[in-house]
């Protein structure tokens, strides 16, 4: 059933409501923004019709606040011609409305507009359906690389042995460590993350191992260290190559004996914590250059795993970008943004992403703040289009759309080839060929 919310901020609304009902629309009606907000919260409306006459500056500010909270509705304005003389209303129309009409209304044209708005709302609803792969283990993506990482995490989580996570900066090593913790039998315990490079060398001993009162000047009370705080849970040591060599000796003793000594203490404390370490550097190279103890390396490198870079999981880029856009939309102070233009998607797919997922999030966050349009452009993301080109060619756009459709469908059906082929309307052999073409092939269900 097509459902519309008609908000009348002027008297002439009965004709519009009667016409909509005659065109098989179910109409709910509000005479002010407060009532409209209440109705929108309780009714599943796809399209909104806003009738506006002359409005004060305060009224336009209230209208803008209302529209920013109505991202799930396609708004069509019906205005008296003088209303558009207000610059604020013109800006609102450009940023927040699907389309607008002026009175007297051309009913045929309005019907076409509302039909387009309704179909756009349906597409938006389908795009926002929760997929099984979204936020699985906190990770967004359906590519073969991220699916393989999830499989490794499930296996590693069953063990209590130390884990060593490699991967480029910004690729999500802490996210992988948290997923291991949440999938393990220690999930109810604490997860203590320590950035070894962010603690001053003069403080790292007491920060990690704690101290006793009076053990040094300024030690006015006993202090529990971060390792002790992880008792019963998981200790995540990020950028472990930044740990000073003398501290590496103490950490090795903890891994061997599961005991620590606070600074200034003569007694040992038993600590039951699983250790997960991570570094963007190759630890074997750090061992060869004398930056890292060889015996500690072998103690940590029991269950090695690598988080793939964003370049290795390109099919996930559109899904990640949309996820980050939704995160940024939670800031109601920002202008409503619907999504990404096809040129923006193509620019993201072509970028090398040296900063990985962290860079992608930062670019999307910047774009939501800086854009003046409903669709984010390459310029909003900080990408400059090459001179002499207007954007990607049609073949590149088709390839991108094909890859995204296959990747998201596989994720939705838990990579079941038979179900995915049926949903896509192609044969299983064609799906296998397309998966191989786009680098999506891996172990699948029949």
Q: Which residue has the higher pLDDT, 88 or 394?
A: 88
- 267 three-class SS: coil
The answer to whether the bond into 104 is cis (omega within 30° of 0) is yes
Structure tokens at 380: 């909003």
pLDDT at residue 126 greater than cutoff 60: no
pLDDT of 394 reads 59
Strand order in the sheet with 47-52: 26-30, 3-8, 47-52, 74-79, 99-102
pLDDT band at 136 (very low <50, low <70, confident <90, very high): low
pLDDT band at 1 (very low <50, low <70, confident <90, very high): low
Average pLDDT across the chain, whole number: 83
d(CA 345, CA 376): 9
Contact between residue 250 and residue 268 where contact means Cβ atoms under 8 Å apart: no
pLDDT digits (tens, 9 = 90+) for 266-309: 788 999 999 999 999 989 999 999 999 999 999 999 999 999 99
Structure tokens at 330: 């939670």
d(CA 409, CA 404): 8
Q: Which residue has the higher pLDDT, 192 or 336?
A: 192
pLDDT at residue 194 greater than cutoff 80: yes
Structure tokens at 389: 């080109």
CB atoms within 10 A of CB 124: 16
Name the percent of the chain lying above pLDDT 90.
31
pLDDT at residue 32 greater than cutoff 90: no
Structure tokens at 114: 């509302």
pLDDT digits (tens, 9 = 90+) for 240-265: 999 988 889 989 999 999 998 888 88
pLDDT of 65 reads 77
pLDDT of 389 reads 45
- Rg (C-alpha) for the chain, rounded Å, is 28
Read off the pLDDT of each residue in 329-345 and give the average, rounded to a whole number: 75
| Angle (nearest 5°) at CA 277 between 272 and 281 | 165
Query: At residue 279, what are phi and psi to the nearest 5 degrees?
Result: -160, 145
388: left (phi over 0), alpha (psi -120 to 50) or beta: left
pLDDT band at 130 (very low <50, low <70, confident <90, very high): very low
pLDDT of 385 reads 59
Of 279, 243, 320, 287, the residue nearest 169 (C-alpha): 279
pLDDT digits (tens, 9 = 90+) for 386-441: 544 445 555 666 777 777 778 778 877 777 888 888 888 888 888 888 887 777 76
Q: Which residue has the higher pLDDT, 116 or 59?
A: 116
d(CA 206, CA 211): 6
Using CB atoms within 10 Å of the CB of residue 219, give its burial: 0 to 12 exposed, 13 to 18 middle, 19+ buried.
middle
d(CA 53, CA 250): 74
Query: At residue 102, what are phi and psi to the nearest 5 degrees?
Result: -110, 150
pLDDT at residue 327 greater than cutoff 90: no
pTM above 0.75, yes or no: no
Enumerate domains of the chain plus CATH numbers.
3-127 (3.40.50.2300), 160-306 (3.40.50.300), 310-446 (1.10.8.60)
Of 401, 395, 125, the residue nearest 409 (C-alpha): 401
pLDDT band at 173 (very low <50, low <70, confident <90, very high): very high
């Amino acid at each position: 059933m097509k459902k519309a919310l008609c908000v009348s901020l002027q008297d002439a609304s009965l004709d519009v409501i009667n016409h909509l009902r005659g065109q098989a629309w179910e109409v709910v009606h509000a005479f002010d923004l407060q009532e409209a907000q209440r109705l929108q919260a309780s009714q599943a409306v796809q399209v909104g019709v806003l009738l506006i006459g002359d409005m004060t500056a305060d009224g336009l500010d209230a209208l803008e606040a209302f529209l920013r909270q109505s991202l799930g509705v396609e708004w069509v304005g019906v205005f008296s011609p003088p209303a558009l003389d207000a610059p604020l209303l013109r800006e609102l129309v450009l940023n927040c409305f699907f389309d607008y009409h002026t009175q007297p209304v051309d009913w045929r044209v309005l019907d076409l507009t509302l039909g387009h708005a309704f179909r756009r709302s349906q597409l938006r609803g389908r795009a926002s359906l929760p997929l099984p792969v979204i936020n699985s283990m906190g990770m967004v993506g359906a590519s073969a690389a991220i699916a393989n990482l999830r499989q490794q995490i499930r296996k590693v989580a069953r063990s209590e042995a130390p884990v060593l996570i490699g991967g480029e900066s910004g690729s999500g090593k802490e996210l992988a460590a948290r997923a291991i913790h949440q999938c393990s039998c220690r999930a109810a315990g604490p997860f203590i993350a320590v950035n070894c490079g962010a603690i001053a060398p003069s403080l790292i001993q007491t920060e990690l191992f704690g101290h006793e009162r009076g053990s040094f000047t300024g030690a006015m009370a006993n202090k529990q260290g971060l390792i002790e705080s992880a008792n019963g849970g998981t200790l995540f040591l990020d950028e472990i190559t930044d740990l000073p060599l003398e501290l590496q000796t103490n950490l090795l003793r903890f891994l061997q004996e599961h005991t620590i000594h606070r600074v200034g203490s003569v007694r040992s404390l038993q600590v039951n914590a699983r250790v997960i370490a991570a570094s963007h550097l190759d630890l074997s190279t750090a061992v060869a250059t004398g930056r890292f103890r060889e015996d500690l390396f072998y103690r940590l490198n029991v269950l090695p795993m690598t988080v793939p870079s964003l370049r290795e999981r390109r099919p996930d880029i559109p899904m990640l970008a949309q996820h980050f856009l939704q995160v940024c939309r939670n800031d109601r102070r920002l202008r409503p943004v619907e999504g990404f233009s096809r040129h923006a998607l193509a620019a993201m797919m072509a970028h090398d992403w040296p900063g990985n997922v962290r860079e992608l999030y930062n670019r999307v966050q910047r774009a939501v703040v800086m854009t003046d349009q409903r669709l984010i452009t390459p310029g909003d993301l900080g990408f400059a289009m090459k001179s002499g080109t207007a954007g990607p060619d049609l073949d590149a756009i088709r390839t991108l759309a094909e890859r995204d459709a296959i990747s998201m469908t596989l994720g939705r059906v838990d990579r079941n080839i038979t179900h995915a082929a049926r949903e896509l309307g192609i044969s299983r052999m064609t799906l296998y060929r397309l998966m191989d073409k786009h680098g999506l092939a891996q172990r699948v269900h029949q």
